[in-house]
Structure 1
Amino acid sequence: MKPCYFILSAVLLMLTSCKIAPQPIDYGSDGCYFCSMTIVDRQHAAQIVTKKGKAFKFDAIECMLNHLKEIDQKEVALFLVNDYGKPGELIDARIGHFLISKEISSPMGANLSAFSRAGESKDHIKAYDGVWYSWKELLQYFKSM
C-alpha cells in the first residue's frame, strides 16, 4: 500500500509543479532575470512562463524582449506585461498595444509601455509624442536592434 501512496504523491506533485500560470511579482524584492535589477515599477514589469511552467520575471518589457533573442520562443506559453493604465496588472502581451515615447520613461530606457486597449495607447499618443506597435511589430522592431 505504501508504494501506491508514494506514486500518487509523486504524480500529484508533478501535475501541480508544471502549472502554466503567471507567478505573482514581489515588487521591491524580485529581481529581473535579464539584468538583475530589483523589480519596483508596477507599470513596466513583464514575465514569461514556459510550457513547463517556469516563470521568468523582468523589470521592464525591453528586458523581456532582449531575453527572447536568446531563447527558443516556441518554448514560451505566456508572454505577459504590466498594463501601464492599471499598475501591477499583467496582461497577455500578444493582444497588448505598445507605445514608445520619450515622455514616458521605462526602467531600462527604451521608453516602452504596454496598454490593454488600443484606445488607451492612442490617447497617450495624442498626449505624448510617440509611436505605437502591436506585439508582432514590437518583436520585429526589437529583433532588428
Structure 2
Amino acid sequence: MKTLKHYSTIALLLLLCFSCNVKPEAIDYGNDGCHFCKMTIVDKIHAAEIVTKKGKVYKFDATECMINFTEEFDTSEIQLYLSNNYNEPEALIDATQATFIISKNIPSPMGAFLSAFKSEEDAKKVQKEKGGVLYNWEALLAHLKS
C-alpha cells in the first residue's frame, strides 16, 4: 500500500512538472486566429505570440495586436513576448530583445507598418533600403501607447 501511494505521488509530481511547460508553439498559418482581432494569421513575417508563466499560448497576426492585447491582460503573468523575425519568416524571436522598425514601405497586417528584427544591425540594413524609425521594446511600447 505504501508503494502504491509512493508511485502515485511521483506520478502526480511528474504530471505537474510537465503540464506547465513554458515554451512557444508553432503558428499554424492560415488556420490559427489572432487572439486580439480574431483575423486568421497568414503573414509569416509579422505574427507574434505570448506565452504565460503557466504555459498558455496566445497567438497574434501582428506585433501590434500582441501589444494591444497586453493592455487588457495581467502582464505579470507573461513569461515570453515573441515576434516573427522579418529576415527569417516564421522564426519567433524574443520581442523584448528585438529591434523594431516602423516604415510605411513595409506593410503589416493591422496597418502599424511594424516589423521586428533579431538585431539592430539587421534593422539598420532594412532601414537604409525602406526608411522608417527604429525602436527597442520599451521605446516601441511608449510610442504605441501614446
TM-score (norm 1): 0.93
- The equivalent residue for 1:29 is 31
Aligned amino acid, residue 56 of structure 1: Y
Deviation track 1:29-68 (CA, whole Å, cap 9, x = no partner) reads 1111111111111100001111111111101000000001
- The equivalent residue for 1:17 is 19
1:141 & 1:9 partners in 2: Cα distance?
Answer: 48
1:14 & 1:143 partners in 2: Cα distance?
Answer: 37
Q: Is the 8 A contact 1:69 1:143 kept in 2?
A: no
Deviation track 1:73-108 (CA, whole Å, cap 9, x = no partner) reads 221111100000000000001110000111111111
Q: How much has 1:2 moved relative to structure 2?
A: 4.1
1:30 & 1:2 partners in 2: Cα distance?
Answer: 42
Superposed counterparts of 1:95-106, under 5 Å: 95-106=97-108
Query: Which runs of 5 or more structure 2 residues have no equivalent in the other structure?
Result: none
TM-score (norm 2): 0.92
Q: How much has 1:3 moved relative to structure 2?
A: 4.4
- The equivalent residue for 1:67 is 69
Moved more, 105-114 or 122-131: 122-131
Whether 2:116 is the aligned partner of 1:120: answer no
1:24 & 1:58 partners in 2: Cα distance?
Answer: 12
What number of residue pairs does the alignment pair up? 144
Structure (1 or 2) with the larger CA radius of gyration = 2
Superposed counterparts of 1:44-63, under 5 Å: 44-63=46-65
Query: Which runs of 5 or more structure 1 residues have no equivalent in the other structure?
Result: none
